[in-house]
């Protein structure tokens, strides 16, 4: 438990805005002191109202001491001071709440940004085997839960500071009853250790449930067309209810524990207060002028004790999200790419794979097994084979997304190793089977690859990719493509994606099943674009069959990760 807590705090500490945190702590202390002073002033107020002697109470001597100093205060003056102190406290509390909210939002954003940056910096093998739902839960839910936990931790600190101020004020009024009531309150809090431990376990379970939740909905929302075509709406809705019910069950179990805890806490605090008052009256014979403010102080302390317990329990419940983030960040550091320290090799002669082997975790056979082949610069290579033959793995290798476990890749005789990997990617354009566009305009999607390109350059790229249809749209380059580009057909999206790839002016263009799901007209349009590119750059086409195969200068056939045929045109 200590190791987990230490790991969570190590993640939280760098994200904390220290100045705002110090300001929140200062406001909490000032607010608590103002409240304590206001409550102490109840004693002289009661004495003036009842005519009771101030000598019977240590705190009640305030008015007498002020009179001795030449500052006699009447009832009206004390009431004005009391009202001003309460108003000051209300102002300080509001400012503290605003600052604490700023701290929470700053930390949440910082944790999410740190995680996202770490994921972007991880190697492709690690990212490709991560479950999408877990990624979404980490990126969306975990930072929010961590921020919420921090907010309750700040609330816990504020409540403890206020309790300390109240205890100090109470000690000035009536020390013995205060000690008795304070020990009773501590005993009540100690009894809640089990509840806090259970909240932590429920928080861990909730984190896992959120992973299942996000995974299910991200997959099903991507598959709405398939669900409707198969008539599975009712079945998937029922499954969604089960997934959501599991999350709801865990959340409600925690809320029930919280509610029971609050009930027992308040009932226990009331019993402690009643016992303390009985002792003060029957055993210590405390005067009414000190006992009534003392009762007011401890009446105020009951909701504070409740806030301490709830904040502590909420922190315990949300802290596992920080642990999840800590584990993810630690793993991404292990899996981080080193970054290029050398310039990208210049492809002017050949890409060569020499006895390359790639193995993936959980697979019995190698994705690529002792593969040797050559791709001449400026050539068009068609890579084919059955599903699972290793085609996409080969594309990932050549694109610089992964490194082999054995063997070597060279470009013009220079090894493509970790020192050149990310630099080489800047010279590669990858067009995958499922064309990915962002929910913004065609122009913005193209500028994503070439931020400095002007409209004539973008239009030229569209024409090269046989995507000039964009120029005939009512809004032209300003046309929004919708979520994932769904306002356009698959073929239209693919041609825009090809234009985006060409804007990089790549040395190597990889088309991974780029026309497998297209109709004849769109396949013909892309084939026309690729034909015009032949000889101007190196092209690798991954596919099973189709018109693009006829453009190849050489065909490489894979099966079970091995090169079984290498045929030149």
**Pair (32, 68) in one structural domain:** yes
Residue 197 in domain: yes
Mean pLDDT confidence for 117-142: 81
**Pair (407, 507) in one structural domain:** yes
Asked which of 3-7, 10-14, 146-150, 348-352 is least confident by mean pLDDT, the reply is 3-7
448 lies in which domain range? 350-568
Residue 385 in domain: yes
Q: What is the pLDDT of residue 277?
A: 66
Predicted confidence (pLDDT) at residue 564 exceeds the cutoff of 60: yes
Residue 10 in domain: no
Predicted confidence (pLDDT) at residue 347 exceeds the cutoff of 60: yes
CATH of residue 136's domain is: 1.20.1560.10
Q: In the chain, how long is the greatest CA-to-CA distance?
A: 113
Q: Show which of 294, 309, 334 is a domain's final residue.
A: 334
Predicted confidence (pLDDT) at residue 110 exceeds the cutoff of 50: yes
Q: What is the average pLDDT score of the chain?
A: 78
Tell me which residue of 504, 467, 503, 457 sits closest to 488, measured CA to CA: 467
Say how many residues make up the chain: 569
Predicted confidence (pLDDT) at residue 39 exceeds the cutoff of 80: no
Percentage, residues of the chain above pLDDT 90: 14
**Pair (511, 363) in one structural domain:** yes
Percentage, residues of the chain above pLDDT 70: 71
What is the distance between the alpha carbons of residues 207 and 415, in angstroms, rounded to a whole number?
43
Mean pLDDT confidence for 394-419: 91
3-state secondary structure 346-358: CCCCEEEEEEEEE
Residue 9 in domain: no
**Pair (301, 217) in one structural domain:** yes
Six-digit token string for 195:
């509840």
Tell me which residue of 382, 387, 386 sits closest to 554, measured CA to CA: 382
**Pair (512, 553) in one structural domain:** yes
Q: Show which of 286, 310, 334 is a domain's final residue.
A: 334
pLDDT band at 295 (very low <50, low <70, confident <90, very high): low
**Pair (118, 165) in one structural domain:** yes
Predicted confidence (pLDDT) at residue 544 exceeds the cutoff of 80: no
Task: Give residue-wise pLDDT tens across range 545-563.
Answer: 767 777 888 999 999 889 8
Mean pLDDT confidence for 152-178: 73
Q: Show which of 334, 358, 389 is a domain's final residue.
A: 334
24, 154 Cβ separation under 8 angstroms? yes
Q: What is the pLDDT of residue 146?
A: 84
Q: What is the pLDDT of residue 411?
A: 93
Q: What is the pLDDT of residue 220?
A: 72
Task: Give residue-wise pLDDT tens across range 504-527.
Answer: 889 999 988 766 666 777 778 888
Q: What is the pLDDT of residue 443?
A: 93
- Contact residues for 78 (Cβ-Cβ < 8 A; gap 6+): 41, 44, 45, 48, 63
Predicted confidence (pLDDT) at residue 292 exceeds the cutoff of 50: yes
Asked which of 3-17, 48-62, 85-99 is least confident by mean pLDDT, the reply is 48-62
DSSP 8-state class, residue 344: P
pLDDT band at 455 (very low <50, low <70, confident <90, very high): very high
Q: What is the pLDDT of residue 42?
A: 58
Q: What is the pLDDT of residue 2?
A: 45
pLDDT band at 195 (very low <50, low <70, confident <90, very high): low
The dihedral built from the CA positions of residue 162, 163, 164 and 170, taken in this order, carries a sign that is: positive
Residue 493 in domain: yes
Predicted confidence (pLDDT) at residue 5 exceeds the cutoff of 70: no
Separation of CA 177 from chain center: 48
- Contact residues for 33 (Cβ-Cβ < 8 A; gap 6+): 165
373, 353 Cβ separation under 8 angstroms? yes
What is the distance between the alpha carbons of residues 469 and 467, in angstroms, rounded to a whole number?
5
Q: Are strands 562-568 and 554-559 parallel, antiparallel or unpaired?
A: antiparallel
Q: What is the pLDDT of residue 533?
A: 86
Six-digit token string for 393:
């793995």
Residue 11 in domain: no
Predicted confidence (pLDDT) at residue 404 exceeds the cutoff of 50: yes
**Pair (254, 395) in one structural domain:** no
Higher pLDDT pick, 303 / 230:
303
Count of structural domains, the chain: 2
Predicted confidence (pLDDT) at residue 55 exceeds the cutoff of 50: no
**Pair (155, 210) in one structural domain:** yes
**Pair (188, 135) in one structural domain:** yes
Q: What is the pLDDT of residue 230?
A: 61
Predicted confidence (pLDDT) at residue 339 exceeds the cutoff of 80: no
Task: Name the phi and psi angles at 514, rounded to 5.
Answer: -70, -20
Residue 23 in domain: yes
Task: Give residue-wise pLDDT tens across range 318-331.
Answer: 777 888 888 888 88
pLDDT band at 57 (very low <50, low <70, confident <90, very high): very low
Higher pLDDT pick, 292 / 462:
462
**Pair (87, 209) in one structural domain:** yes
**Pair (377, 503) in one structural domain:** yes
Q: What is the pLDDT of residue 128?
A: 82
Six-digit token string for 165:
């101020």
Task: Give residue-wise pLDDT tens across range 213-227.
Answer: 777 777 677 667 667
What is the distance between the alpha carbons of residues 70 and 320, in angstroms, rounded to a whole number?
59
Asked which of 115-124, 301-310, 424-433 is least confident by mean pLDDT, the reply is 301-310
**Pair (165, 295) in one structural domain:** yes
Q: What is the pLDDT of residue 355?
A: 93
Residue 485 in domain: yes
């Amino acid at each position: 438990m200590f190791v987990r807590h230490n790991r969570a705090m190590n993640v939280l500490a760098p994200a904390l805005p220290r100045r705002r945190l110090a300001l929140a702590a200062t406001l909490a202390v000032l607010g608590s002191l103002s409240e304590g002073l206001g409550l102490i002033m109840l004693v002289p107020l009661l004495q003036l109202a009842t005519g009771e002697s101030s000598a019977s109470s240590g705190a009640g001597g305030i008015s007498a001491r002020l009179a001795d100093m030449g500052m006699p205060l009447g009832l009206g003056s004390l009431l004005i001071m009391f009202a001003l102190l309460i108003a000051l406290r209300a102002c300080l509390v509001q400012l503290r709440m605003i600052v604490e909210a700023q701290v929470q939002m700053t930390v949440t954003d910082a944790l999410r940004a740190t995680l996202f940056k770490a994921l972007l910096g991880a190697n492709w093998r690690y990212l490709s085997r991560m479950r999408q739902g877990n990624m979404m839960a980490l990126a969306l839910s975990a930072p929010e839960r961590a921020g919420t936990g921090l907010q309750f931790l700040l609330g816990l600190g504020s409540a403890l500071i206020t309790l300390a101020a109240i205890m100090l004020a109470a000690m000035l009024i009536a020390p013995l009853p205060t000690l008795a009531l304070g020990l009773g309150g501590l005993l009540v809090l100690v009894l809640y250790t089990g509840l806090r431990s259970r909240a932590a376990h429920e928080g861990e379970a909730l984190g896992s449930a959120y992973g299942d939740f996000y995974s299910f909905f991200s997959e099903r929302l991507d598959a709405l067309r398939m669900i409707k075509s198969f008539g599975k709406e009712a079945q998937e809705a029922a499954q969604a209810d089960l997934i959501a019910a599991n999350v709801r069950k865990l959340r409600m179990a925690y809320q029930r524990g919280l509610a029971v805890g609050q009930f027992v806490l308040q009932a226990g605090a009331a019993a402690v207060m009643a016992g303390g008052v009985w002792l003060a009256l029957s055993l210590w014979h405390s005067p009414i002028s000190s006992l009534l403010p003392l009762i007011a102080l401890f009446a105020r302390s009951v909701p504070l004790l409740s806030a301490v317990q709830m904040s502590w329990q909420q922190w315990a419940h949300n802290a596992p999200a920080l642990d999840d983030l800590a584990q993810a960040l630690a793993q991404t550091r292990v899996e981080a790419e080193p970054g290029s320290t050398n310039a990208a090799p210049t492809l002017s002669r050949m890409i060569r794979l020499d006895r390359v082997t790639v193995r993936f975790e959980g697979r019995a056979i190698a994705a690529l097994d002792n593969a040797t082949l050559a791709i001449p610069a400026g050539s068009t290579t068609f890579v084919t084979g059955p599903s699972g033959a290793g085609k996409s793995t080969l594309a990932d290798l050549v694109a610089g997304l992964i490194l082999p476990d054995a063997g070597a890749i060279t470009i013009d005789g220079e090894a493509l190793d970790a020192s050149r990997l990310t630099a080489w990617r800047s010279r590669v354009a990858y067009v995958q089977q499922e064309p990915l566009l962002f929910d913004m305009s065609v122009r913005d999607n193209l500028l994503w690859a070439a931020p400095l390109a002007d409209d004539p350059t973008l239009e030229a790229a569209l024409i090269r990719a046989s995507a000039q249809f964009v120029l005939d749209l009512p809004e032209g380059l300003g046309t929004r493509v919708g979520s994932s580009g769904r306002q356009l057909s698959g073929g239209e999206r693919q041609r825009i994606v090809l234009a985006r790839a060409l804007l990089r002016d790549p040395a190597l263009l990889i088309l991974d099943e780029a026309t497998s799901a297209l109709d004849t007209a769109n396949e013909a349009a892309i084939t026309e674009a690729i034909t015009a590119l032949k000889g101007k750059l190196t092209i690798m086409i991954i596919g099973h069959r189709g018109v693009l195969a006829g453009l190849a200068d050489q065909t490489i056939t894979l099966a079970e990760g091995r090169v079984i045929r290498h045929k030149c045109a």
